[in-house]
Structure 1
């Protein structure tokens, strides 16, 4: 698995820039990192136990602690500090960002929180036809 060669926290744009030794680089939004935290608080203790994270559009990272030579622990501005993000997990978040956003937006919509994310459904997959809102009270 690739290992990071550079990691930069961009406070103003709220993204984590990470470059790997295989030549790939990702700009992972803090919001995506926060809502897909690998912590038990978010993931639950088994399949179907996930806790939908809402209101994380403006979340920031006030610091990052290294965890050995294999991970980081971001200190989020909303007090969440229990997620251990391995290099493999950060790579997965970067590589699968569009699919993860789509899944998150669908879960927000299903639970009545459409529009809660900093992302609009149409902006997630460039070139994909925007789906019409169906009775969820969210108008464009």
Structure 2
């Protein structure tokens, strides 16, 4: 039997966002169908449900491949992922009509105005969060499956 390090790296990388997305989807279903609270985010759920866990897995495979030749921190590698996810999420949300780009802010569902400064702070917080999640949790999973 072959060890398949890239398959194991993919599974280790995809586990955390899959678990988080499952919790978010269950909470959404509880509020939407159990408590009958309406959230107009059905169109926006496709991107995180289908794309983000797969991208985490591919991103971890890329780390394993790069780490074979270069000394590269897993935390730093994970911190780069929001720099890819944020523009892709922004593009998807704007194409689906979830957000609209204005002169100095984003309009979320034509109801909430978010200044670009708040968006920049959120992206910076995401980069820090991703750094720690990748440094500790993904590194642990990589060690468990033997690709660290």
TM-score tier, shorter chain, comes to: under 0.3
Please, what TM-score do these two structures have when normalized by structure 2? 0.26
The structure showing larger relative contact order (alpha-carbon pairs under 8 Å, at least 6 residues apart) is 2
Please tell me whether Structure 1 or Structure 2 has the larger radius of gyration of its CA atoms: 2
- Report the structure, 1 or 2, having the larger helix content: 2
- Report the structure, 1 or 2, having the larger strand content: 1
Please, what TM-score do these two structures have when normalized by structure 1? 0.27
